[in-house]
Structure 1
């Protein structure tokens, strides 16, 4: 599970693992109950790793958090004199602050500290409240540190998303401006140069019909060249009027460029053209949300996007190599995709790849 390993190698997670291991070393100093304590500590460490797995459902993650709190309290009861077991609650609260809203973290921390107070008082500590308040201060500090770290990461991701949105929109606007300028030049050539060349050719024909000038080779050559030039201009105008569609390739690569992960692997089939700016914007928003979901919820390294035509409609296949739960829950992002596609008479299908990643299939008018 690369997502689990990636989570454990993050600085905050790695610090938590090292802290738990050091607490285990302190249990070894006290020989009484060391075996059972180390067994419970191993279970705590395992749940610590599982809690950060991105593919874990929310309800199961909550159960894991509660079990961690119970194990920490049990270890405090088994090793009351060691004085290091309450550190596990500091690690737990910091971990919860990374994944849960403050209200949930506060409830779990209060219940765990009440249980800690009861255990310490039952064990004969003269000032259990002082110990609980002391470690509670460490918990608050750890929770705030983790919370602000998470807020900073979310703000950074949002800034990257907005920057990518601006880059992709700028690419589309530049392409639209080029199309508009090309169409303007085509009209000018057709209306001005084409009109004057037609008039010149008619005059040359009239001169060639004059008995005085008839048979002159230079006049016939000029009339022939004017006809060829008029045909060339018409061909140029036609090629400039040919709508090649908006440059989605450049826009989509600009959209994915600010994200360090996942990498976008894009393939657009030959003949696929999107001429409607509204459809192009829908495609951009669809891909943008897919990239965000792959990074935030699937921790994917790669996203494969294929665009093709199917029954005169545009088909977009998006797959990633992340890890998703067996049952895909549709959040605000997926709902937003459906709404955008519905506005352009499009449809969205969700599936799971064999490797556990997300597979999106969108169909909309070309």
Structure 2
């Protein structure tokens, strides 16, 4: 909720408030010159009411958890109200409301769609000014206002493009972090196995040879009662037993700890904010399981940021009933049935390939919950 309230003071929103106030200064200080669309007795209070309603619709789009389609509907209502005000009264500042609306549209439409919307809105304004304002230069009036709309649209579009590029860079950075963590863990695992083999094959072999030579020396009548020889044989036995214990411990480690990898994976995302709850005994046994967990979390973070517009995401890694469970949920603002895209399908296939599974659900508030499970391997 605090994030949505903070959206109120974003620079582009503040600029919209200033423009709305500037329009209001003309409306509140001077009686309107009517066009005959609305009766003179109701004209001024109607214009003031419509002007206030535009602000309320704008604030609803900023504060409410709306989908893109719902935001489009709100903005089209703003456009229709602005056109009604233009058709009803000859205020020169009212067309600025269309600049605000078109700047919002630039965040929701693709370039070709946005160009069509731009043409339709300005065609409607041109026809209104020509028919009801009885202006001698409607085309010049249109070009002035359309140029400001175009400037606002381009500014807004470039801001959205920069934000999307930043999100793509964050996702790529997260992917690199996950890959680096996997490579580091794989290198540590390989090094541990290499050292265990070296200790077993080299040191163990030489200690065994030393024991055999000491045994032969102890059976020599000249050294049978020699205390240093007996002590060396005992120490060789103990050292070989200790070495075998170390080798066994190196091979039977307690699994890979994913805490640092998951923390690093979530850190680059400015939104959603990740809340991690990782059990100490929830460790995976091999690289394949570690990669499945990291890629699942990475895909969930990307989807929550890109599609769900989530502010928070909760990631719980636990060990229960012989399984490693990964519970991920966000507070996104989606609606309708979930569409399983390539990312979620690939996530499920990756988990199933190593004996796990994945359930995907939409929460009552619109967020997405992922329930992944992996078998505990020896």
* TM beyond 0.5: yes
Deviation at residue 263 of structure 1 after TM alignment: 3.3
Is residue 132 of structure 2 the alignment partner of residue 114 of structure 1? no
TM-score in terms of structure 2 length: 0.87
> What's the secondary structure of 2:358's corresponding residue?
strand
Relative to structure 2, which stretch is displaced further, 330-339 or 102-111? 330-339
2:6 match: 6
CA shift at 1:268, angstroms?
Answer: 2.5
DSSP 3-state at the match of 1:319: strand
Match for residue 210 of structure 1?
A: 220
Q: 1:158-198, CA deviations, whole angstroms, 9 ceiling, x for partnerless residues?
A: 11221222122112211211211121111111111111111
Return the offset for 1:323.
Answer: 4.1
Aligned length in residues? 364
Q: Tell me which residue corresponds to 1:96.
A: 105
1:18 aligns with 2:27: no
Tell me if structure 2 keeps the 8 A contact 1:169–1:251.
Answer: no
Of 94, 97, 101, 1:85 maps to 94
| Structure 2 partner of 1:318 | 328
Aligned equivalent of 1:131, options 136, 141, 154: 141
Instruction: Give me the whole-angstrom Cα distance separating, in 2, the residues matched to 1:75 and 1:337.
Output: 52
Partner deviation per Cα, 1:248-287 (whole Å, 9 max, x = no partner): 2221112122223333332322332323323322222221
Q: Distance in 2 between matches of 1:54 and 1:291?
A: 22
**1:301 Cα offset (Å):** 4.2
Q: How does 1:31-70 map to 2 (within 5 A)?
A: 31-32=31-32, 33-52=43-62, 55-70=65-80
**Alignment partners' CA distance in 1, 2:28 and 2:339:** 47
Moved more, 143-152 or 22-31: 22-31
Q: Say which SS state the counterpart of residue 99 (structure 1) adopts.
A: coil
Q: Is the 8 A contact 1:324 1:358 kept in 2?
A: no
* Larger displacement relative to structure 2 (13-22 or 145-154): 13-22
**CA-based RMSD:** 2.4
Equivalent residues of 1:307, 1:314 under 8 A apart: yes
Q: Which of residues 143, 164, 167 is equivalent to 2:174?
A: 164
Deviation at 1:207, TM superposition (A): 2.4
Residues 246 and 216 (structure 1), Cα distance of their counterparts in 2 relative to 1, 3 Å cut: same
**Contact kept? 1:168, 1:251, Cα under 8 Å:** yes
Following the alignment from structure 1 to structure 2, what is the Cα–Cα distance between the partners of residues 346 and 55?
Answer: 34
Shift of 1:150: 0.8
> For the Cα contact (< 8 Å) 2:324–2:374, is it kept in 1?
yes
Equivalent residue for 2:196, pick from 170, 186, 189 = 186
**CA 1:129–1:345 in 2, change beyond 3 Å: closer, same or farther?**
farther
Gaps of 5+ in 1: none
Alignment partner, residue 146 of structure 1: 156
